[in-house]
Amino acid sequence: MDLSESEWGTPAPDRTGSWAIVVLEQGTRQVQGVIGPFRSPGHAQAYACDGGFADWLIVPSLYLMSPTEPEIAAIAVL
* Count of structural domains within the chain: 1
**Three-state secondary-structure class, residue 14:** coil
* Domain around 52: 18-77
pTM for this model (two decimals): 0.70
Answer yes or no: is 9 within a domain: no
**What pLDDT, in 10s, does the model give residues 10-47?**
444 455 568 899 999 988 999 999 988 888 888 899 99
pLDDT tens-digit readout, 51-71: 889 999 999 988 777 888 877
Question: Does residue 69 sit within a domain?
Answer: yes
Strands 31-38 and 73-77, sheet pairing: unpaired
User: Residue 51: inside a domain, yes or no?
Assistant: yes
In a domain, 28, yes or no: yes
What pLDDT score was predicted for residue 55?
A: 94
| 53 domain residue, yes or no | yes
Task: Report whether 3 contacts 75 (CB < 8 A).
Answer: no
Residue 32 domain flag: yes
